[in-house]
Structure 1
């Protein structure tokens, strides 16, 4: 189907790329300027900033408690932003919606960004926080059940890689992985996937922009041939946590995400691939105010809470 009309309206207002060099500081400032004030955000029982102490250093986190309860399932969330953009604030509304709909206590990670921090700094932060969450389970009110991980775009990349690292290390506490339109193949050859051609221009994220946007990460030492950088390169996917892969119809990255989901399923992993028609890359962050796209949070809740009682996620 065609792009959703509300998305089309906004895309029509965006300036065409002019080929000028990307300026991380200016782009981050631009993002920060659009963060809504606290009083306009989805209310939850509690939201607090904390610090996770990991083997590679202290990592700032933000913890979202959806409602008062004796204990919680946990979800560790990694924001997107091509490895050099995004923050706890730019994706605060995503973490809040995840907490509300899933009933999980959500831990959002402020990992180190490229180009200031070189590979694998951000990845180490994400993995370290997952291990920290398991170790600090009692203080977090963890009920010992779900320890899920989730991420959008480059955060989906980190989630997929963290799932693999944990398996290789014998850390078997991760129960679920949720990948929102993940960037799982940083080899941006336009002939690799049909969606790179079909959705090359006009949908926000453009195929020609993939290499320059990800160059800060790749130039920091992240080799696209390395499965720790491009998780689709991982040969053995057996034993990984159950996966929900959500993709967007009008996204250059659509086909690599869907291929990764199929490969997980072929490896015996419980995997669901769910494509959102009419959507573009970034829709969970940018367009979840559209009811049919907010559905992604509800689908995530169904996936994480399958076979359990109601999540009890009423916000206060």
Structure 2
């Protein structure tokens, strides 16, 4: 592969991983076989320019690092690469979760094994989305058009967090870069949704059940806001903007429910709440529309509404704490 124009020897790692995973999960009764090419003979068969002779360069030898660690080292050097900083300047400054950051770095390197990617390398015959979208599974599809990814975004929008929806890959990248200048939190959330949607797609491709859009959306909110901190530090109407007053977790094995109410001059009102465990992990949320004139009464209604959304298993916890700013 290293001798094919436009390709790199580093693509061997990705293809090897896909092939051996296929061997592992394959139910083919005839079996499968991998052939190892003698690289020395491959180099002997190449014709080199005498004035500019190529040579094999050793990059790493018995470094003791995992593949993930080597990938992250590559990310660090990639940030300093002036030739590719158009993509890295804004993506790599988002302070994404490390797994999400590596995923987007691989997207920038065109190293995500979509079905179209595998088809172009004669490794797979099926090019449509693995989740049944009936569209070609390209990079543009997984970042912009996949209907299951869009369902996750729509679910988050229902919760009051306005994530943009794009119509093309160029429009998406340009839009995310522009938004990152003013509200990097929304971009972090979008990047996390794409990563978790891709993981969900992989579960389906390997004959495992897919997570619902509600669960993926909840996990995206948690992963985008927690980063290296195990506790969520803010959960207001501007979800991803850091607050000066950090959220205080409940005791171990307790559930904490934060409730609030809002009232407009037109007497349109709303109450809502969110359930989280002692680690700050999102459990569930609720909201109701109301018409009222007294904010104090609405705050009280928000507390009383909690009992309507309690599940039986929640009562098995050591305790439940309800918190309001009333």
TM class, shorter-chain normalised?
Answer: under 0.3
TM-score, scaled relative to structure 2 = 0.23
Structure label with greater radius of gyration: 2
Q: Comparing both structures, which one devotes a greater share of its residues to strand?
A: 1
Which structure has more relative contact order (CA 8 Å, sep 6+)? It is: 1
Q: Comparing both structures, which one devotes a greater share of its residues to helix?
A: 2
